[in-house]
Amino acid sequence: MDFATLKEECLACRRCGLCETRRHVVFGQGVATAEVMFVGEGPGANEDEQGLPFVGRSGQLLDRYLEAIDLDRNKNIFIANIVKCRPPENRDPTPEESAACLPWLRAQFVLLRPRIVVCLGRIAAQQLISRDFSVTKDHGKFFDKQGTLFMATLHPAALLRNPGSKPSAFGDFVALRDKINEVCDHTYPK
């Protein structure tokens, strides 16, 4: 299966009740050759409206952090979410919703074969790294899972609510840049 076919099938998904309230499926955005994949928990209102991940205020903050380390969703990364449809009132996805959507994320992962996966926030980190992962304690650390490096950082929306955490989150992005230079085929400026 290729990305176009996967996206077409995902856009028609009716695996859980989130399909009843969504405006758009948020498949993801980026390049199919990305060595770095970012994964959030799920779309918010702006993302549901536009059908793209991280396009609201938190997406603007994420884009600034990405730009600072020479990453760009249109050039060298891929951004996706655990669930592809917005949970009502921006609540956390239920375990059933996450389980219904994870095959889409796994298929994206298989097609991309990223060298590094960055979990944006607690929900993504607990789904992809460890059920008991503490993003406040373990952010910025890399974990090797079958040859792919996983790292979590604070979700950009959490940084907007708690601006005092921005410096430590930015430090995670600097560590990411350094790790990219160490393990990926492309290097980025320091």
Q: Give the DSSP H/E element, type plus range, for residue 148.
A: strand 148-153
Mean pLDDT over all residues of the chain? Answer: 94
* Arithmetic mean of pLDDT, 66-86: 96
Sequence-separated (6 or more) residues with CB below 8 Å from residue 166: 159
* pLDDT digits 0-9 by tens, 99-127: 999 999 999 999 999 999 999 999 999 99
- Beta bridge partners, 150, equal 117, 143
Torsional sign, CA 132, 56, 190, 115: positive
Hey, what are 27's tokens?
């498949």
Confidence of residue 189 (pLDDT cuts 50, 70, 90): low
Task: Check residue 188 and give its pLDDT.
Answer: 52
- Comparing CA positions, the residue from 173, 142, 138, 161 lying closest to residue 64 is 173
Cα-trace Rg, the chain:
15
Confidence of residue 27 (pLDDT cuts 50, 70, 90): very high
Q: DSSP secondary structure string, 31-91?
A: -TT-SEEEEES---HHHHHHTSSS-SHHHHHHHHHHHHTT--TTTTEEEEESSSSPPGGGP
Residue 184 has pLDDT above 90, yes or no: no
Q: Give the DSSP H/E element, type plus range, for residue 118.
A: strand 116-120
Q: How far apart are CA 49 and CA 9, in angstroms?
A: 20
pTM: 0.95
- Comparing CA positions, the residue from 106, 178, 165, 162 lying closest to residue 139 is 165
